[in-house]
Amino acid sequence: MAEKTAPHNQQQLHVFFFPFMSPGHQIPMLDMARLVATRGVKTTIVTTPCNFSRFQSFIDRDRQSGNVDINVHILKFPSDTAGLPQNCENLDSLPSRLLSNSFSRAVMMLQPQGDDLVCQYRPDAIISDLNIPWTAQIAKKYDIPRIVFHGTCCFSLCVTDSVSKYKPYEGVSNDWMPFLVPGLPDRVHITTSEMPGRFFRNLGLQEFFIQFVEAERNTYGVVANSVYEIEPEYVEHYKKISGKKIWTVGPVSLCNEKDVDMAERGNKASIDKDHCLAWLDSKEPNSVIYISFGSLCAFAESQLVEIGLGLEASNCSFIWVIKDGFGDGLAIQDLEERVKGRGLVIRGWAPQLLILNHLAVGGFMTHCGWNSVLEALSSGVPMITWPLFGEQFYNANFVLKQLKIGFGIGVDTGLKWGEEEQAGALVKRSRVAAVVSRLMGGSESVKEMRERANRISKPARSAMSEGGSSHGNFDLLIEDLLALKQERLAKGE
């Protein structure tokens, strides 16, 4: 828990971090907070009890090292008031997608507690997830710079902006006809069926999204878990269209260098890390495909069966992660028995960083959440893209068309939240088997793809080292915030 108010240090910078309570947003922001703390910055993470329990071991290890000034403030999550079950404090713990609106209301109800904390401790800056828009009001109230974290790449931010600004989908005859997105550095085509908003229309979140836009007006800059060298044109384009400062500081996952940190990143793994590593050690280099669709995926049971039978038919070694509470039917259990030794099924939380960094892993079937994409890029692992919702189709476009380091599974639309079971099996076992066999095969095109993926991984990894672009951007961010602090002190604030 947090310490009591300390005397104000005019030289040391104090930064509050407000991570959104969803794994894809929370995990990189925690890494970011830890990286900022290693630079001598007093760092405070604002979260809720159940979320703190997921990363407390990290904080305890960091504190024991004696090299960081990192604190945690706990907000009481208003589950009862918002109509949520007890301890339902993270988006991945919702028993139903239809409670998403209630969860959003609960997040908005945290504002008074957040205001009280900022008023009491008067940090020098706030770094906030875009999904916590009320931090913009607090930052304006106390004249504190707010830096926003979007959780995706600049390519996807630019596509989103251009689609919103130019509305190129108007007049397109159907949802599956590709149209050109104007105003971008490259020719980018998407379809209406791939646009993020359509996946959440039935959840009543429009008002929540509107507040994001308003919050952007009260934002000093943007911090991105990306690498300048991977998307330089889109970093520069986003600077121009947003009028904001932007710091690319990724891949922040690389701060996890020890096996224990990689295994526990985000949550306690559902498999013993030593068992997982021993299984991978028994496989040849590039012979294992890793399959994971993120913490929010809710496939129908019929789709899980098709994935499993496709993996079996591919004859490839695989590690398959299935979300807790899914895939418990006899069909999946029987499959596990048949592929024992060749396939490893993990139910629950997987040590993804540990797996992707292993030499045996030669492919990744992914939903294209940006964290997963960036972790694959950093590890030099080519991908099979299977986007499900949100901006994941834009991320997949980036992987396939910009970087050219993967194959698409062939979906032309995603899953509407709350309607996953009705969607059934969109991809059949034959398609799964064919694409997996293609990626894990030894064709010349795949060899070239692996070489490209390996080349891309080098600037991604070196960016975080001393002298690298992301390492330098962390320094520039801190220098900028220190300069703003000195300006406020000079004014007598």
Closest CA to 441 of 381, 362, 345: 362
Closest CA to 442 of 285, 237, 329: 285
Element (H, E) at 331: helix 330-338
| Catalytic residue from among 31, 92, 124, 129 | 129
469 and 228 in contact (C-beta within 8 Å)?
A: yes
Known catalytic membership, residue 186: no
The shares of helix, strand and coil residues in the chain, as percent rounded to the nearest 5, are 50, 15, 35
Q: Using the structure block, give the residue that is written with the tokens 């979906």.
A: 411
Beta strands at 188-190 and 179-181: parallel, antiparallel or unpaired: antiparallel
Q: Token digits for 15?
A: 């930064």
Distance between CA atoms of 255 and 429, rounded to whole angstroms?
A: 38
Distance between CA atoms of 451 and 440, rounded to whole angstroms?
A: 14
Distance between CA atoms of 312 and 431, rounded to whole angstroms?
A: 12
Burial label for 371, CB within 10 Å (0-12, 13-18, 19+), is: buried
106 and 77 in contact (C-beta within 8 Å)?
A: yes
Give every strand in the sheet of 125-129, ordered side by side: 70-74, 42-47, 14-18, 125-129, 146-149, 221-224, 245-248
Known catalytic membership, residue 129: yes
| Catalytic residue from among 14, 25, 150, 237 | 25
Catalytic residues: 25, 129
